[in-house]
A and B are shown apart, each in its own frame.
Chain A
Amino acid sequence: MKLSMSVLLGVLLFGAAARGQDPGKDEIGTVKTELIFGTDGELEALGPKAKELRGAELERLRKSKNIPKFKLFARLGSDTQPILRGYKNWAAPLAGSKAIMVTFQPQGVVGNKLRMDLELWQKKEMVMRADPTLDRGERVYILGPKWRGGRLIIRVQLVSLRDK
């Protein structure tokens, strides 16, 4: 009995120590980063992984005065990553590609909203820094660089946020 209690205590203490090791690594939410391409070309030219946007999300893009008009909008890739309490994390919506990357780091939680430091990187160059405040489910769109006659749009969504 004594031995099992010691073992249990040891496991609990070890677990506590491991968890408490770096609170900066606590995951406080998740962010989804998508790479959308607006083009007047054909979907087939974008490869098998490209998925054309449809329905309500397409309608909103078409209605927007800030998004250029294109024949079609396709999602080229996405990446969902945790938000770390004390660290900058990053997302690469096109797996294996450094062409477009996004970094994010929480700056503060006010009520249900999270303010983040958001950076857009093109290869090894940081091209934009912003500090949007997002509620769960809310998105920010970044009108990115031109490519192959079309335009890349980076969509960042706060998917989840842990309650305090």
Chain B
Amino acid sequence: MQSLAKFAHASTHYRPRDGMIAFLLHRISGLAVLFFLSIHIIDTAMVYFHPSGYEDFLAVYRSPYFMLAEIALVAGVIYHGLNGFRIALFDLVLPSAWTIDRERLSVRLTILLAFILWLPAGVIMGGNFIGYTFLGW
């Protein structure tokens, strides 16, 4: 119990800086995308093994809850891709760029660019969500 209290204290009192935030976002988005990807391969396999089951999956994907989750999923795909590209670029081409200053700058640019790229996706998919959920498209 004491260790749980310690963990709760540390979790709420430790303030992560840019690099750790990038790491946490990368991990969470990666796990979320893998979770959906596993389901998505199975639903696509239905096309061959059990075509009517594919329509059942699509009905779930068309539900309002899933449409919202899809918007978050796209945010995860954009961030994970950009940040992964940053890591690959630094590790393979510019290892000297792994300094705290450049890490902070590159993390902030990555998050900003991910948000900018996500905006049109959010508008299009958000529009679909509103149209199909409330306007009876």
| A, B bound | no
